[in-house]
Amino acid sequence: MSAASLFARRSVASFSARFIPSSAASFAPTSARLSLRRNLSDDLRARLDTAVKSNDVLVFMKGNKAQPQCGFSRAVVQILTLQGVKDFKTVNVLADEEVRTGIKEYSSWPTIPQVYVKGEFVGGCDILINMHQSGELDTFLKEQGIAVDKEAAEAAAEEQKSGV
Residue 19: other Cβ atoms inside 10 A: 7
* C-alpha distances out from residue 43 to 39, 46, 48, 85, 102, Å: 11, 5, 9, 30, 11
CATH number, span 41-162: 3.40.30.10
pLDDT digit string, tens, across residues 7-50:
344 444 444 444 444 444 444 455 544 443 467 899 999 999 99
How far is it between the farthest Cα atoms of the chain?
72
The whole-chain average pLDDT of the chain stands at: 81
DSSP code of 135? T
Residue-range domain boundaries for the chain: 3-34, 41-162
Alpha helices in the chain (DSSP H): 3-19, 30-35, 42-53, 71-82, 97-107, 125-134, 136-143, 150-162
Q: What is the pLDDT of residues 59-70, one digit of tens each?
A: 999 999 999 999
Calculate mean pLDDT across residues 88-104. 96
41 near 49, Cβ under 8 Å? no
